Structures are given as structure tokens and as C-alpha cells.
Amino acid sequence: MKLTVYKISGEETGRKVELKDEIFGIAPNDHAIYLDVKQILANRRQGTHKAKERAEISGSTRKIKRQKGTGTARAGSIKSPLFKGGGRVFGPRPRDYGIKVNKKVKILARKSALSYKAQNSQIMVIEDFLIDEPKTRTISEMRENLKVSDKKLLLVLNQPNKNVYLSSRNLKGVKVITSTDLSTYDIMNASTIAFVESSIDSIHKNFGL
């Protein structure tokens, strides 16, 4: 598959880059995508939720009423879950929600996600560009020129660029990452993926091609 390289002004450069079918042209595996996205979202959970149970509530241990003759149920402690302020029954405890997904499955998931985007014409390539100083207007105008201002844009760079990141962080629906940080979730969450020209070779190398 070959794609035209565009300038940030929206004009064609006259060059084309080849996207290898081994990455962008495979038969997508939906289950691999599901497993990888599930792991990414699960690993984001802090798991710090906690509710105090009966043994952790501060309060008197005195038996609050006699056992028999009251006409009501027995009650042995004010810390019982039946009373206001008592401990919670089987409340949440801190835990790790992380799950394991095999490396080969994660690779297959990223390839499948990229192939979906390629099939739906949701991938574009733009030439490498520099921003001398952080300006939100630069990225905003680039989106308008490329006609993706109304879409969720994932901009993939070859290496970190602080000015590009600072110029885009205030724009809704724009995310900037490097090719080494590209994840299945980021790919599937974007409406359009814009690769800078130099990042294509990096993507191929990351997959061993």
C-alpha cells in the first residue's frame, strides 16, 4: 500500500511512502484487539478503593442490649453492619487489576488495529515539520488544512518533540505520541492517524521489518 505524503499546509508533496502489508494489510484479529485494549484499560485502574469493615470501625465493644426479652433481634456490637456507622460487609479492598497478555498477541493486536485503519482510509502521512515555539494555532491550522479538524487525531512522531506536544495539548481530540509508544488503544480510539514521514520506517523497524 502506498500513501501520498502531504505538507502541513494540506498540499501534496509529490512523494509517496509504502506501508508494508505485513503490518497494514493483514486480516484483523478482533479478539487480539479486545485482549490488548482490555489489558491497557485494566492496568490504568489504581485499585486503591477501600471501605472499612467491622473490625476496622472505631467504637465501643460493649454489648448494646440484653440478648433476650427485648422483642427485637440480637445485637452484640454497635459496629455491626446493621447499624448506622457500622462496618461494611465485604467492602472493596485495594487490589491490582492488571492482567497478562502475551507479547505475540499484543503485536498481532497492533497490526490488526493498523490494518483496520488502513482499510477504512483513516491513515495519512505528512512530511516532517518543525515548530520553533509552542503555538496552538500551528496545530489547529494544520488540522484545518488536512480537513481533520472535526475528527479525533492521533499524530505519530518519530521522536519526542516538546514544541509539538505543547502546541497540541490544549486542542480537544488531538493526541501526540511517538512511534515507540503506539498502542492498540490509541489506534482504535482515533478517527484519523497522521504519521510523520520519518515515523513510517520506525514503525516497520519496531515490528522487525
Structural domain spans, the chain? 2-45+101-206, 49-96
In this structure, what DSSP letter does residue 181 have?
G
Please report, for residues 3, 18, 45, 155, the alpha-carbon distance to residue 161 in angstroms, rounded to integers and kept in the order given: 24, 24, 28, 11
pLDDT at 130 over 90: no
Please report, for residues 122, 150, 168, 176, the alpha-carbon distance to residue 146 in angstroms, rounded to integers and kept in the order given: 12, 11, 15, 16
Mean pLDDT over residues 184-191, rounded?
95
Reported confidence tier of residue 10, pLDDT bands at 50, 70, 90: confident
Reported confidence tier of residue 172, pLDDT bands at 50, 70, 90: very high
AA identity, residue 81: P
AA identity, residue 179: S
What CATH number should be reported for the domain whose range is 2-45+101-206? 3.40.1370.10
pLDDT at 207 over 90: no
Mean pLDDT over residues 29-57, rounded?
95
pTM: 0.83
pLDDT at 174 over 90: yes
Reported confidence tier of residue 45, pLDDT bands at 50, 70, 90: very high
Residues 6 or more apart whose CB falls under 8 angstroms from that of 204 comprise 20, 23
